């Protein structure tokens, strides 16, 4: 259990830890102090207590790096809605890449952002496999294409057959890296989508382009043999993206329909 308790030298009994977490913090009336109690080791280490204690009075062990910076109290001071909106709306799927690997340090930056994505009950079971070997990506692309051709109706598979004959990679678009999220925790189906989305947005700040590859996800999640033999992944595949330096440039944001919403009419 990484939360060890409260440092009473620092604590001023403000009870914000209880506000952060009513499960494991309580006020001990007799001693007139807050106490942390988790006899069954159920605390999921979400760290809200650490983050909310102004006096840094929560004691913890081995929970990973703890960041603190001025804007953490109000992240809206870091980026305006207008900038964020432009940034998000300009996020496009990239399907053309420079023949250049992304340096390890840059991919690590993307992964470092992904780790801040929320997960159900703060369970951190997601695993990531990055394939960067050109031949391996080509092989994976071919078997994914073959699997799609074998399982789809002829009208759908026609384009894949044509592309395959012409040596065109319609799965990974000759991307330098394929990133696969996997684990054996079914809850990670949603967690991985959130983490990958964080990473894809972060990638855009680093001049990188990305694209979801649902086609590879579909084949890898349903075909154990391909998954294990070619990617070496055991367990379930929850998401696949490609990542690299883009060659495609977009000059405008395509139109998108508004999300049909109920419940706004009565609001001011
Ligand atoms: C879950 C999901 C799966 C996708 N799978 C593929 C895919 O297999 N191949 C591909 O080229 N694009 C894929 N895409 C990209 C979509 O086609 C793309 O997001 C959509 O056309 C909107 O374009 P934009 O991302 O540029 O806004 C996928 C997107 C999502 C969200």
Q: Which residues of 57-66 are buried (b: 16+ CB within 10 A; e: fewer)?
A: bbebeeeeee
Nearest CA residue ID for atom 3, ligand 1: 214
Residue 210 Cα to ligand 1 midpoint, Å, equals 10
Domains of the chain, by residue range, sit at 3-60, 86-244
pLDDT tens-place values along the chain, 268 residues long: 589 999 999 999 999 999 999 999 999 999 999 999 999 999 999 999 999 999 999 999 877 888 999 999 999 999 999 999 999 999 999 999 999 999 999 999 999 999 999 999 999 999 999 999 999 999 999 999 999 999 999 988 999 999 999 999 999 999 999 999 999 999 999 999 999 999 999 999 999 999 999 999 999 999 999 999 999 999 999 999 999 999 999 999 999 999 999 999 999 9
pLDDT at site 64: 81
Q: Which of 94, 211, 242, 249 to mutate to test the pocket of ligand 1 (most atoms within 8 A of CB)?
A: 211
Q: What is the pLDDT of residue 19?
A: 96
Q: From the CB of 215, is ligand 1 less than 6 Å away?
A: yes
Ligand 1: residue of 173, 203, 214 to mutate (most ligand atoms within 8 A of CB) is: 214
- CA–CA separation, 3 and 104 (whole Å): 33
CATH number for the domain whose boundaries are 3-60: 3.30.70.20
For every residue of 219-244, which 3-state class applies, written as one string? HHHHCHHHHHHHHCCCCEEEEEEEEE
Q: Which of 88, 89, 93, 238 maximizes ligand 1 atoms within 8 Å of its Cβ, making it the mutation to test the pocket?
A: 93
Ligand 1 proximity of 177 Cβ (cutoff 6 Å): no
pLDDT score recorded for residue 65: 86
CATH 3.40.109.10 fits 86-244, yes or no: yes
93 in ligand 1 pocket by Cβ < 6 Å? Answer: yes
Distance CA(151)–CA(222), nearest Å, equals: 12
Q: Taken in order 44, 50, 53, 55, is the CA torsion positive or negative?
A: positive
- Decide: 212 in ligand 1 pocket, CB within 6 A: yes
User: If residue 84 lies in a helix (H) or strand (E), which one and from where to where?
Assistant: helix 81-89
């Amino acid at each position: 259990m990484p939360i060890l308790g409260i440092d009473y030298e620092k604590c001023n009994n403000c009870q914000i830890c209880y506000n952060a977490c009513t499960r494991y913090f309580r006020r001990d009336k007799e001693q007139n102090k807050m106490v942390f109690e988790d006899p069954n080791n159920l605390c999921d280490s979400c760290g809200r207590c650490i983050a909310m204690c102004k006096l840094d009075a929560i004691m913890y062990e081995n929970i990973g790096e703890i960041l603190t910076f001025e804007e953490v109290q109000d992240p809206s001071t870091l980026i305006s809605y207008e900038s964020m909106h432009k940034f998000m709306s300009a996020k496009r799927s990239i399907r053309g890449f420079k023949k250049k690997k992304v340096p390890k340090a840059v991919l690590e930056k993307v992964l470092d952002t992904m780790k801040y994505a929320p997960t159900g009950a703060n369970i951190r079971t997601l695993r990531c496999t990055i394939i960067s070997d050109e031949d391996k990506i080509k092989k994976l692309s071919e078997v994914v294409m073959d699997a799609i051709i074998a399982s789809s109706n002829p009208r759908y598979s026609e384009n894949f057959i044509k592309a395959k004959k012409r040596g065109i990679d319609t799965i990974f678009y000759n991307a330098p890296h394929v990133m696969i999220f996997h684990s054996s925790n079914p809850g990670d189906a949603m967690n991985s989508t959130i983490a990958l989305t964080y990473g894809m947005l972060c990638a855009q700040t680093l001049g990188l382009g990305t694209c979801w590859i649902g086609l590879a996800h579909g084949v890898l999640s349903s075909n154990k043999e391909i998954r294990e033999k070619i990617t070496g992944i055991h367990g379930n595949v929850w998401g696949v993206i490609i990542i690299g330096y883009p060659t495609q440039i977009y000059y405008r944001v395509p139109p998108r329909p508004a999300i049909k919403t109920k419940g706004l009419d009565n609001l001011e």
